[in-house]
C-alpha cells in the first residue's frame, strides 16, 4: 500500500514582494516582483525573438477601469499596455532562465489634487490576448498603494452670492463686479479668471464667465451676454488644457491644467441662478507655494491669504461670519 504524500505548496506565477507601496506626493516608488515559472514564447525561426518574445504587462486597479493609470498613480516606464515589459523564454535562453530575476515597476504619484484619494489597490496583469492561454488575463495579487499626505489640501472656490474661499480655507463676501484673477500660478503660466456681474435682483454678485489660460491655450465659458460661448479661444500645437464634461451631466465642466490643478465649472440650472457658475479649484502638489489671486497664497497658512497684487496685504476678519467679511481692496487689486 502506498500512502499519499503531498509536497510543499509552490506558488507558480508572478510573485509580488512588496504588497504595500508608499509614494510621497509627486514622488516615486517601485513594485518589485519575480516570476516563479518561465513564460514560454511561441515563435518561428524567421521572427526576431528580441521583438516578438516580450510581453507588456498592464497595471489594473480595483477602482479604475483604465489600464494606463489608476486615479493619480501612473507607471513611469510605460509600454503599450501601460505596464512593464518582460522578456519571455525562448530556446536560446531556456537554460539560463532563473526565478531569481528581480523585476521592478516604477510608479509615480502623477500630479493631482492634494485633496485626492490616497489609497489604491493595483495589480499587474497579462493582456487578455496574450498568446499563452495559461498566462492570458493572469493577474498578480493586489498591491496596496498609499500616497503620502505631505501637503495640506488646497481647495478654492468662487460661487454664487459672492462667496469666495481661498486655497487655505478663508471665506469672504466678494461682492465686487468685473474681471478678476481667481488663480495664477506663474511658474506653470496658468491663470484662471472670472467675470462677475450683479445677480438675484442686484442684491449680490455671481460669476457669468470663466477663462482658463495655460501658456497660449485658453478655454472660455462666457455666459454673460445673450448668447453663450464655450470653446477654446487659442490653441498651441499641443493642447495643454484637458477639458471634459463630467460624466452624466451637460453643464458641469472639468478642466485639468498642466500643474494638475482641476477646475470644475458648474453652470447652474436653478431658476434664481440659471446661467451663472460655481467655480471650484482643486489645487495640486505642484501648485503648492505657487498660487496668487483671490485664491490666495496656497501654503497651508490661512493668515497670509489676503496678499494684494501689489504686495500689500489685508488682515483677516475671522471673528465675523463669512458673508460679513468684506475685503474689497484685496479683491479689486486682482483685476
User: Closest separation between CB of residue 147 and Ca ion, Å?
Assistant: 23
Q: List the one residue from 301, 320, 324, 329 that touches Ca ion (CB under 5 A).
A: 301
Instruction: Write the burial class of residue 45 (CB in 10 Å: 0-12 exposed, 13-18 middle, 19+ buried).
Output: exposed
User: Closest separation between CB of residue 304 and Ca ion, Å?
Assistant: 5
Length of the chain: 335
Binding region for Ca ion (CB under 5 A) out of 94-102, 189-197, 209-217, 298-306? 298-306
Binding region for Ca ion (CB under 5 A) out of 7-15, 58-66, 123-131, 292-300? 292-300
Rule CB under 5 A: is residue 111 a binding residue for Ca ion? no
Q: Which is nearer to Ca ion, 69 or 287 (CB)?
A: 287
Binding region for Ca ion (CB under 5 A) out of 46-54, 55-63, 146-154, 293-301? 293-301
The rounded distance, in Å, linking the Cα atoms of 185 and 188 is 6
Q: Which is nearer to Ca ion, 240 or 299 (CB)?
A: 299
User: Closest separation between CB of residue 27 and Ca ion, Å?
Assistant: 23
Q: How many residues bind Ca ion (CB under 5 A)?
A: 6
Binding region for Ca ion (CB under 5 A) out of 4-12, 48-56, 302-310, 320-328? 302-310
Number of H helices, E strands in the chain: 2, 24
Instruction: Write the burial class of residue 200 (CB in 10 Å: 0-12 exposed, 13-18 middle, 19+ buried).
Output: middle
Strands 204-214 and 217-222: antiparallel
Binding region for Ca ion (CB under 5 A) out of 167-175, 191-199, 254-262, 278-286? 167-175
Q: List the one residue from 33, 223, 305, 327 that touches Ca ion (CB under 5 A).
A: 305
**From edge to edge, which strands make up the β-sheet containing 14-16?**
14-16, 28-35, 103-109, 73-75, 69-70
User: Closest separation between CB of residue 191 and Ca ion, Å?
Assistant: 18
Contacts 24+ apart (CB under 8 A), 148-151: 148/22, 148/23, 148/24, 148/25, 148/27, 148/118, 149/25, 149/118, 150/24, 150/25, 151/25, 151/114, 151/285, 151/288, 151/300
Name residues contacting Ca ion, limited to 60-99 (CB under 5 A). none
DSSP calls for 46-95: TS-HHHHSEEE-EEEESS---SSEETTEEESS--TTSS-EEE-B-TTTGG
- Which of 117, 107, 111 lies closest to 74, judged by CA? 107
Q: List the one residue from 299, 313, 314, 317 that touches Ca ion (CB under 5 A).
A: 299
CB burial string 147-182: b at 16+ within 10 A, e below: beeebbbbbbbbbbbbbbbbbbebebbbbbeeebbb
Rule CB under 5 A: is residue 297 a binding residue for Ca ion? yes
User: Closest separation between CB of residue 301 and Ca ion, Å?
Assistant: 5
Binding region for Ca ion (CB under 5 A) out of 1-9, 170-178, 267-275, 295-303? 295-303
Q: Which is nearer to Ca ion, 168 or 266 (CB)?
A: 168
Rule CB under 5 A: is residue 244 a binding residue for Ca ion? no
Q: Which is nearer to Ca ion, 189 or 304 (CB)?
A: 304
User: Closest separation between CB of residue 263 and Ca ion, Å?
Assistant: 19
Q: List the one residue from 168, 266, 287, 290 that touches Ca ion (CB under 5 A).
A: 168
User: Closest separation between CB of residue 289 and Ca ion, Å?
Assistant: 9
Cell numbers at 205, concatenated: 454678485
In the complex, the residues that contact Ca ion under the rule CB under 5 A are: 168, 297, 299, 301, 304-305
Amino acid at each position: 500500500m502506498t500512502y499519499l504524500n503531498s509536497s510543499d505548496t509552490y506558488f507558480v506565477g508572478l510573485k509580488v514582494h512588496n504588497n504595500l507601496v508608499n509614494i510621497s506626493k509627486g514622488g516615486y516608488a517601485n513594485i518589485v516582483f519575480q516570476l516563479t515559472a518561465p513564460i514560454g514564447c511561441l515563435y518561428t525561426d524567421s521572427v526576431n525573438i528580441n521583438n516578438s518574445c516580450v510581453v507588456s504587462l498592464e497595471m489594473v486597479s480595483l477602482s479604475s477601469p483604465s489600464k494606463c493609470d489608476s486615479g493619480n498613480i501612473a507607471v513611469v516606464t510605460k509600454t503599450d499596455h501601460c505596464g512593464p515589459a518582460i522578456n519571455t523564454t525562448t530556446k536560446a535562453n531556456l537554460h539560463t532562465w532563473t526565478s531569481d530575476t528581480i523585476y521592478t515597476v516604477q510608479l509615480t504619484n502623477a500630479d493631482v489634487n492634494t485633496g485626492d484619494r490616497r489609497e489604491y489597490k493595483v495589480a499587474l496583469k497579462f493582456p487578455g490576448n496574450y498568446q499563452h492561454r495559461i498566462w492570458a488575463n493572469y493577474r498578480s495579487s493586489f498591491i496596496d498603494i498609499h500616497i503620502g499626505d505631505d501637503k495640506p489640501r488646497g481647495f478654492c472656490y468662487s460661487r454664487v452670492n459672492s462667496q469666495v474661499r481661498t486655497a487655505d480655507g478663508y471665506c469672504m463676501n466678494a461682492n465686487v463686479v468685473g474681471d478678476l484673477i481667481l488663480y495664477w500660478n506663474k511658474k506653470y503660466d496658468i491663470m484662471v479668471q472670472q467675470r462677475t456681474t450683479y445677480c438675484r435682483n442686484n442684491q449680490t454678485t455671481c460669476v457669468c464667465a470663466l477663462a482658463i489660460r495655460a501658456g497660449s491655450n485658453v478655454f472660455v465659458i462666457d455666459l454673460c451676454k445673450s448668447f453663450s460661448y464655450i470653446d477654446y479661444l487659442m490653441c498651441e500645437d499641443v493642447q495643454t488644457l484637458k477639458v471634459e464634461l463630467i460624466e452624466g451631466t451637460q453643464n458641469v465642466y472639468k478642466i485639468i491644467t498642466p500643474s494638475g490643478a482641476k477646475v470644475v465649472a458648474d453652470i447652474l440650472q436653478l431658476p434664481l441662478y440659471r446661467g451663472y457658475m460655481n467655480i471650484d479649484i482643486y489645487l495640486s502638489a505642484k501648485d503648492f507655494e505657487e498660487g496668487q489671486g483671490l485664491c490666495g497664497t496656497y501654503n497651508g497658512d490661512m493668515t497670509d491669504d489676503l496678499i494684494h497684487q501689489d504686495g500689500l496685504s489685508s488682515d483677516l476678519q475671522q471673528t465675523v461670519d463669512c458673508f460679513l467679511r468684506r475685503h474689497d481692496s484685496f479683491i479689486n487689486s486682482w483685476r
